[in-house]
Structure 1
Amino acid sequence: MGDEIVVAPGGPLRGELRVPGDKSISHRALICNALAEGEARIRGLLDSADCRSTMACLSQWGVEFEIDADNLLVRSPGQHSFRPAPGVLDCGNSGTSIRLLSGVAAGLPFRSQFDGDDSLRGRPMRRVLDPLASMGALVDDADTAPFWVDGSDGLRQGFDGNLAVASGQVKSCIVFAALQADQPSRIVEPGPSRDHTERMLGAMGADIEVDGSCIRVRPGADLATSDVHVPGDISAAAFWMIAAALIPGSDIGLPNVGVNPTRSGVIDVLRSMGAVVELHNQRDVSGEPVADITVRGSQLYGTRIDGDLIVTALDELPALAVAAAFAEGITEIHGAAELRVKESDRIETTSASLTAMGVEVEEWPDGMRIVGGQPRGATVDSHGDHRLAMSAAVAALASDPESGPTTIRGASAVEISYPSFWSDLDRLRHDGR
């Protein structure tokens, strides 16, 4: 596929679609099992550029991977037997890879050099490097990648303090380092963030305790490998949930989607806007809440997104901004300054895309105000941001049919998290005919 794609308006969307495995859980299944000695099978792992970055870095430390039928086999000598990487640990576009693996590197008795693509080089890294330094790790004085982390002097202290931002990546980085520290750690979050790391490590034998916003880690426990069945990614499902809600006559099913409460804010927001979103067959799979989701076309209304919803729906905010652009009334998003330091400045780029489609948007330092209406076809740029490309596709599908198609530049960015996005779009449209 070229790096530009044209999406015509139309629908309805109908049928059942299994979205790819959850990206956050896939990263953690790879890393957590790499820390333990032995073998584990991961079923449903997301095969995307970001997860391949994590695998490539772990391979340099001595971890082996093998495709076994529908599973990925992880074979590791254990963290204590990791060898120095022969080269730079290239994390590509993946903030999850570089931040979580920095925490692992802090517990290794050698220097690890990290880098990434131009987008990743623009993202803030002191938020992980400073806590690691406070624990005794030697760290680069850089603010962004490239940088190095060296655990040769050991981690003489645990971490004891409050995190500046509610971030699953920052928290997980510190947790991974805390496993190898000489002293216990106490991590206090300012708000809820995704808790996949705590769930998975607890199941593998780590001495980790969660009490509200406080996470305590006591080092020294031996980790055991654990087979993981990765559920569908709610961040991927969100695009289809929003598209189905926007397009009259749509009715889609999304089976086996992770609905972890630290990630399911998109469902709460859509319901507050009037969307018909139903969860069926709720159950636990590999320690994670999972459900089958159905969504039908419905009239949406403007809403206010702030507080804890910002954290539990952070990755979905660009797509929710699209929903707001079609909703009746005004939607306001507050407290989302973190969007400015993602793969792109998602406040600026989302505002630009919607404005190009004729939407009235007021941009704020920490959010935006969106006046709902009927967006029209236009040419928009993803700026290399996977979530912007997919959000633009949703807007294009629901746009005014009289205005023509939408051209999306940088369409290949979907490879970062959802390689089959464009083929899945075609399938849902075909099933709706």
Structure 2
Amino acid sequence: MEFLAQPGGAVNGTVRVPGDKSISHRSIMFGAIADGTTTVEGFLEGEDALSTLKAFQAMGVEIEGPDAGRVTIHGVGRDGLQAPAGELYMGNSGTSMRLLAGLLAGQPFDVTMTGDVSLSKRPMERVAAPLREMGAVVETAEGGRPPLTLRGGQQLKAIDYVLPMASAQVKSCVLLAGMYAEGETRTTEPAPTRDHSERMLKGFGYPVTVNGATATLSGGHRLKAVHIDVPADISSAAFFMVAASIAPGADLTLQHVGINPTRIGIINILREMGGDITLSNEREVGGEPVADIRVRYAPLKGIDIPEEQVPLAIDEFPVLFIAAACAEGRTVLRGAEELRVKESDRIQVMADGLVSLGVNAQATPDGIIIDGGPIGGGRVNSHHDHRIAMSFSVAALRASDTIHIEDCDNVATSFPNFVELATQVGMRIEVSK
């Protein structure tokens, strides 16, 4: 599937983007092993979150929906999961595979998880290593890549784990395994990462203590079913925030967006570049802060991106690079090696795409240097990476000619109605099979 992003267009109106992916994944995982029936509203019906849902159905959990974002999960309790009949297919979802590895490490049965071509290249040793330290038996393919096999029936022991990289997936994996381990499991992270697991575990009544960079829980407690209202995903809202920032005359309001402090790098960085962003109607929903975000066009300027913001905006960088290409002057990103092991090597793929559109962009080992300037038309390969495809769609707002974006099928993993919402606010994107 290709996107044809036509030059120009406008960005105006009010939209609500789909539910947060991280929270949607976790609502299924925790609801499945809770006692009682968990109901979810605003669930993201993208392929990634559906991979998690199908995995738990394969392990004997009765789940109804999703139906217009509503899901009902009949929890089987902490020890109620059953061995799946075959391998669990995780599609394009790194979150599903890494978090499930932790949850499945302490089960009595064997399980193998596989993924699509992009997921099969992503590093799994980062979760396998701490799990082995806890006594789990974990097998990976060559180079620590998927498929990932966990051998059941191991007695896990709690560990005190200092994360070698800032990764919410690794942190969550260790904490989930800790629920099935003997003793007190602690994770300490080098920089703040998203804390949805800690917040939601508390919401389900599981005791978790967070002290600075360290999260602690002990094994053996139970989860109690709850109702979850999933906020709109700030990572999806990011495409529209940049779109409104770079399109002359734009005035756009994004409703009910999750503004968890570990996720607002995109807001902080755009403001630093001169973006006009106001938050209103701030409130808390199920332990997660949400707000309406209004973005108006403003001329942006290039900046050195503050390194402490990098983990808080890790998924938003592809579209931030588009903002940088439209800014006056030079933008420099450092300390973002993590971008090279996402759904694609996001640094290289974005740099290549920008250069093919006539933008002066230079990849560095841990980041990128972008000089703002005119954007031309051309052909860009998204390498089956949903965020790359959507980012170049946004670039068309300031392009002088059509941008052809190849391999856009995976947009459905995180944002199934992207083209529809983009068209609704005035962007000009066509889909060709």
TM-score range, shorter chain: over 0.9
Runs of 4+ in 1 over 6 A off after TM superposition: none
Moved more, 61-70 or 18-27: 61-70
Instruction: Give secondary structure in 2 for the equivalent of 1:270.
Output: helix
* Alpha-carbon distance in structure 2 between the residues aligned to 1:205 and 1:309: 31
Task: Tell me the residue number matched to 2:147.
Answer: 146
How far the C-alpha of 1:161 sits from its partner, in A, is 2.4
* Alpha-carbon distance in structure 2 between the residues aligned to 1:418 and 1:141: 30
Q: How does 1:100-111 map to 2 (within 5 A)?
A: 100-111=99-110
Deviations 1:87-110 (A, max 9, x none): 101100000000000001011011
Instruction: Give secondary structure in 2 for the equivalent of 1:300.
Output: coil
Task: Tell me the residue number matched to 1:250.
Answer: 250
Query: Is 1:318 paired with 2:307?
Result: no
Residues 11 and 250, structure 1, Cα contact 8 Å, conserved in 2: no
Residues 355 and 361, structure 1, Cα contact 8 Å, conserved in 2: yes
Task: Tell me the residue number matched to 1:135.
Answer: 134
How far the C-alpha of 1:295 sits from its partner, in A, is 0.3
Choose the corresponding residue for 1:46, options 35, 44, 47: 44
Task: Tell me the residue number matched to 1:424.
Answer: 421
* Alpha-carbon distance in structure 2 between the residues aligned to 1:55 and 1:338: 27
How far the C-alpha of 1:11 sits from its partner, in A, is 2.6
Task: Tell me the residue number matched to 2:404.
Answer: 407
- Give structure 2 stretches of 5+ with no counterpart: 429-433
How far the C-alpha of 1:377 sits from its partner, in A, is 1.3
- Give structure 1 stretches of 5+ with no counterpart: none
Task: Tell me the residue number matched to 2:431.
Answer: none
Residues 62 and 76, structure 1, Cα contact 8 Å, conserved in 2: no
Task: Tell me the residue number matched to 1:198.
Answer: 198
Letter in 2 for 1:278: T
How far the C-alpha of 1:138 sits from its partner, in A, is 1.0
Letter in 1 for 2:64: E
Residues 8 and 427, structure 2, Cα contact 8 Å, conserved in 1: no
Q: How does 1:98-247 map to 2 (within 5 A)?
A: 98-142=97-141, 143-155=144-156, 157-247=157-247
Task: Tell me the residue number matched to 1:286.
Answer: 286
How far the C-alpha of 1:408 sits from its partner, in A, is 1.0
* Alpha-carbon distance in structure 2 between the residues aligned to 1:204 and 1:355: 48
Deviations 1:367-408 (A, max 9, x none): 0100001111111111100000000001112213xxx21111
Task: Tell me the residue number matched to 1:385.
Answer: 385
Give the share of equivalent positions with the same residue, in percent: 44
How far the C-alpha of 1:78 sits from its partner, in A, is 1.9
* Alpha-carbon distance in structure 2 between the residues aligned to 1:266 and 1:195: 17
Deviations 1:12-67 (A, max 9, x none): 21100110000011001111111112211100000011011001111111111113
* Alpha-carbon distance in structure 1 between the residues aligned to 2:48 and 2:82: 23
How far the C-alpha of 1:425 sits from its partner, in A, is 1.0
Letter in 2 for 1:7: A
Instruction: Give secondary structure in 2 for the equivalent of 1:407.
Output: strand
Deviations 1:138-190 (A, max 9, x none): 111540101201231221x1021200111111011111000110111111101
Instruction: Give secondary structure in 2 for the equivalent of 1:58.
Output: helix
How far the C-alpha of 1:289 sits from its partner, in A, is 0.5
Deviations 1:252-298 (A, max 9, x none): 01010000010010000000000001100111011101000000011
Task: Tell me the residue number matched to 2:94.
Answer: 95
Moved more, 305-314 or 177-186: 305-314
Residues 207 and 219, structure 1, Cα contact 8 Å, conserved in 2: no
Task: Tell me the residue number matched to 1:394.
Answer: 394
* Alpha-carbon distance in structure 2 between the residues aligned to 1:371 and 1:69: 45
Relative to structure 1, the CA distance from residue 430 to residue 243 in structure 2 (aligned partners, 3 Å threshold; closer, same or farther) is: closer
Instruction: Give secondary structure in 2 for the equivalent of 1:262.
Output: coil
Task: Tell me the residue number matched to 2:259.
Answer: 259
Query: Is 1:34 paired with 2:32?
Result: yes
Task: Tell me the residue number matched to 1:5.
Answer: 3
Residues 243 and 398, structure 1, Cα contact 8 Å, conserved in 2: no
* Alpha-carbon distance in structure 1 between the residues aligned to 2:408 and 2:113: 27
Letter in 1 for 2:411: V
Residues 192 and 311, structure 1, Cα contact 8 Å, conserved in 2: yes
CA RMSD of aligned residues (A): 1.2
